[in-house]
Amino acid sequence: MDAALQRRVIVENVYPEIDGGRFPIKRTAGERVRVSVDVFADGHDSVAAALLHRRRGAPDWTEVRMEPAGNDRFTASFIVDALGAFEYTIEGWIDRFTSWRLELSKKVGAAQDVASELLEGAEIVRGTSQSAQLRDPAITVEERVTIALSAALQAAMASRPERNAATRYDRVLGVTVETPRARFGAWYEMFSRSAGTDPTRSATFDEAAARLPYVASMGFNVLYLPPIHPIGVSFRKGPNNRLTATDGDPGSPWAIGAATGGHKAVEPGLGTLQDFDRFVAAARTHGLEIALDLAYQVSPDHPYVAEHPEWFKRRPDGTIKYAENPPKKYQDIYPINFESSDWPALWEELKSIIEFWIGHGVKIFRVDNPHTKSFRFWQWALASIQARHPDTIFLSEAFTRPKIMKYLAKSGFSQSYSYFTWRNTREELTEYFTELTQTGVREYMRPNLFANTPDILHEYLQHGGRPAFQVRFVLAATLGANYGIYSGYELAENVPVKPGSEEYLDSEKYQIRPRNFEDPTSLAELIAQVNAIRAEHPALQRDWGLRFHHTDNEQLIAYSKRSEDGTDLVLVIVNLDPFLMQHGYVQLPLSDWGASSDATLEVTDLLSGERYYWRGEWNYVRLDPSLRVAHILTVELPAPLAEEPAEPKL
């Protein structure tokens, strides 16, 4: 008969655990993993539990004794201090010493004879100096009871728990540990070819390098470049997605591949690979990391089309099927067939593209439309790349159904685009960000809040004027630890190609667009100020500390973020109405902050430097968008209280 049947302890309901352990949770180096679990047994014996953790592949486990949290729940934590893969599990056992000690104390309290219990205890603590004392008839029963219940004996037994018939949780759970940049960063998207001053030709990488001080001066950490590869000529699109191009039209950078090369080459107008290497090095001197667009699709002129025709889907007439997303048509793009009969070679080649650019100093990739490619490919490719290069970051650009976005995050993407762009009311923002930061989704999905993209100019920005851009920027930069803007946002570019469209007029996707970044109405100063605030305040460098607070005006949204150690608290209040002054009262969660209901708090506006003294839970706020759209306030609390995050449910 199986000896496992003798194991009385049940270990279940572990948190965090993603889909029964199929996928790892995510952390960044230096973060803590808090684990909780239900551990119980039949009868009245006490149980104990230990959290076991190690770097994947290590021969031995590191053990942390778990503490009871009530209702058969136990908790413990560990810190992941390096990049790569870690794992953890739980072990539970009958704590015979604690069970005996508890029974003994109850009988002593009831004035019952405990001579037999003391002899029983001597066997349980065998091997300790107290064992002989507990059975020594020369020592009074009272003295032996004192020894049995002493802290010294308890400490001695805690260091050598008896684990006969212990129960090990039936699975080992994973942790993917990534670079801190995966958790916190500010992205700026820039078309390299538009970085010059001549709209009739592409700027070079050397000219684009002249823009680096400007991007760095606004406090960005990541400079994201749309595709930099050769652009196809066949079916090249003209300005505003016109089906025919004229001489000089540069085409869409996402139509990748020409006679000069494919995904491992550089568009000749930008320069050479050596020029790109020099650009990456220059970016580093300005504190910027380069993110490249990873778009697995080709133009009809890509070398793959001639060399590997089996990698593409064909119509009945034999022609290759171009990309469509009805009503949109992309005649200049062929999608890749991940179900090709030659799929192993195809997959290896696509993975090699990532490895090629890692070899040229790129560790961050924004992946175009990953939801239209094989999930299994991403799981295989990202795991392989991150095993060799654990400091790589992959951003999933998938605006699709929620379950697909979440599955991509589980499959290995470090960050995910989100629905932030289309969440504009207080109710929408509160509901969505509560899900992202206070449920089990947070264990594997890190949102990156892009306020705009080359494809998305939301109607809020089209009609709200400069204040609308300020509102959405402050929301993106303070709701999310990761956020981004597309070049031109700071200039409040807001003209769509036609009414009802989210496409820009004269979209940079199809033409070169130099800009006047010296425009005195630019939001660059505000952006630099907010990015400096983010850099100075740990509360804004993570997502989990977010909490929303009640206001009596639905046009005012209020929320706070608190650092994990409780010492940094930032309160943000935003007027969501870009047209009108809004005012009302904000309710502060004083008890949660460790303050009395009538406490007076000193708050300082980090944007204006103004200082206020707020008394009690309800305080008045007035925000006129013609003057300012938001308060970003640092709150001085009576004493720091470390935050104990609630345990969300998956």
List the structure tokens of 550.
């009640």
pLDDT in tens, 2-28: 667 678 999 999 999 999 999 999 999
What is the number of H-type helices and E-type strands within the chain?
A: 16, 30
In whole angstroms, give the CA distance from residue 208 to residue 361. Answer: 17
pLDDT in tens, 27-43: 999 999 999 999 999 99
Q: Model confidence at 632, in pLDDT bands (50, 70, 90)? A: very high
pLDDT at residue 49 greater than cutoff 60: yes
**CATH code of the domain occupying 188-292+340-540:** 3.20.20.80
CATH superfamily of 546-636: Golgi alpha-mannosidase II (2.60.40.1180)
CA angle 301, 306, 309 (to 5 degrees): 115
Annotated active-site positions, please? Answer: 368, 397
Lowest mean pLDDT among 54-68, 180-194, 316-330, 504-518: 316-330
Residue range 573-587: mean pLDDT, rounded: 98
Is residue 575 a contact partner of residue 563, using CB atoms and an 8 Å limit? no
In whole angstroms, give the CA distance from residue 138 to residue 135. Answer: 9
pLDDT at residue 633 greater than cutoff 70: yes
pLDDT at residue 642 greater than cutoff 80: no
Task: Name residue, tokens 């004879």.
Answer: 113
Task: State residue 59's pLDDT score.
Answer: 97
Lowest mean pLDDT among 161-170, 213-222, 426-435, 638-647: 638-647
**CATH code of the domain occupying 3-95+164-177:** 2.60.40.10
Q: Tell me the average pLDDT of the chain.
A: 95
List the structure tokens of 345.
């070679």
DSSP class per residue in 594-625: T--TT-EEEEEETTT--EEEEESSEEEEEE-T
pLDDT in tens, 190-243: 999 999 999 999 999 999 999 999 999 999 999 999 999 999 999 999 999 999
CA angle 222, 226, 232 (to 5 degrees): 160
Q: Do domains 3-95+164-177 and 188-292+340-540 have the same CATH topology?
A: no
> What percentage of the chain reaches a pLDDT higher than 70?
98
Q: Where are the alpha helices (DSSP H) in 411-494?
A: 426-438, 459-463, 465-479
List the structure tokens of 294.
């990873």
List the structure tokens of 41.
């047994």
Task: State residue 639's pLDDT score.
Answer: 62
pLDDT at residue 645 greater than cutoff 70: no
Is residue 246 a contact partner of residue 233, using CB atoms and an 8 Å limit? no
pTM score, whole prediction: 0.94
In whole angstroms, give the CA distance from residue 53 to residue 527. Answer: 41
Lowest mean pLDDT among 108-117, 415-424, 557-566: 108-117
Kindly list the domain boundaries of the chain, sorted by start residue.
3-95+164-177, 97-158, 188-292+340-540, 546-636
**Residues listed for the chain:** 650
Query: How many C-beta neighbours within 10 Å does residue 177 have?
Result: 24
In whole angstroms, give the CA distance from residue 134 to residue 17. Answer: 44
pLDDT in tens, 336-385: 999 999 999 999 999 999 999 999 999 999 999 999 999 999 999 999 99
pLDDT in tens, 245-274: 999 999 999 999 999 999 999 999 999 999
